[in-house]
Amino acid sequence: MLQITNLHANVGEKPILKGLTLSLNAGEIHAIMGPNGAGKSTLGYVLSGRPGYEVTEGSVTFDGNDLLDLEPHERAAAGLFLGFQYPVEIPGVSNVQFLREALNAQRKNRGEAPLSGAEFLKVAREQAGALGMDMDMLKRPVNVGFSGGEKKRNEMVQMGIINPALAILDETDSGLDIDALRMVGDGINRIMRKPDKAVLLITHYQRLLDYVKPDFVHVLDNGRITRTGGAELALELERDGYKELAA
């Protein structure tokens, strides 16, 4: 589904990714772990097309098509979803309006008919309910006045509504209490644990992986994958630390 080959990327003048190769197939959940500054968030931003993140070498294909050739909104329409580490507050724009516009823009891009207001609200209500968010929150401006945990849950509600083929979740577990972590974990499993979907979980800690069991765990250090293993690798990292592993 996603094939990253020898990816090099700069932020400004600074090289961050230095030859990253990674392959995700449908039905798989991959976790990327690594120390601060290893390039984890940069990978998420490069894949979703954030301005200022420049690919200098290598390629990324998504379902066989050149991903790097697409604008951010085209990547979304193609089925890619980035869960933000720091979801952005957008005063004045309601969640409902934003999500309906986003979903219908994607559908239009794919040549599908737009959802009516009633159809959209039904989907939104289901997804919000499953993540313990009430509709009043969905009517409020995007992320404004939300706590850290609420913002992350809102990302999951958005993911449920948009229903992407590939989700890149950038530290979706940070800032969550234990109950919220379980809820987000359940959300990822429910929405994305399907034979035709894949997930790239970017995380610092093993604890989210208690709820979302990865098929593969990769260690990202200094801009490249330095080790790949199964779920047990995360436990090993938690026990021994990144330093020990690098040694």
Site residues (vs other proteins, CB under 8 A):
48-51, 71-73, 75-77, 82, 84, 87-93, 97-99, 101-103, 105-106, 109, 141, 158, 162
Please, which residue, 33 or 80, has the CB nearer to other proteins?
80
Please, which residue, 3 or 94, has the CB nearer to other proteins?
94
For residue 199, the cross-strand partners are: 29, 167
**How far is 165 from 67, CA to CA, in rounded Å?**
14
DSSP label of 87: P
CB of 86 to other proteins, least distance (A): 8
Please, which residue, 154 or 203, has the CB nearer to other proteins?
154
CB of 206 to other proteins, least distance (A): 27
CB of 98 to other proteins, least distance (A): 7
CB of 112 to other proteins, least distance (A): 12
CB of 91 to other proteins, least distance (A): 6
CB-CB neighbours of 207 under 10 Å:
15
With H, G, I as helix, E, B as strand and everything else as coil, classify residue 31.
strand
Q: What's the token pair of residue 87?
A: 């979801």
Q: What's the token pair of residue 109?
A: 């891009």
CB of 237 to other proteins, least distance (A): 29
The dihedrals phi and psi of 199, each to the nearest 5 degrees, come to -135, 140
**How far is 120 from 116, CA to CA, in rounded Å?**
6
DSSP assignment of 186-231 equals HHHHHHH-STT-EEEEEES-STHHHHS--SEEEEEETTEEEEEE-H
**How far is 140 from 95, CA to CA, in rounded Å?**
6
Please, which residue, 48 or 206, has the CB nearer to other proteins?
48
Please, which residue, 93 or 123, has the CB nearer to other proteins?
93
Please, which residue, 18 or 50, has the CB nearer to other proteins?
50
Select from 230, 174, 240 the least CA-distant residue to 207.
174
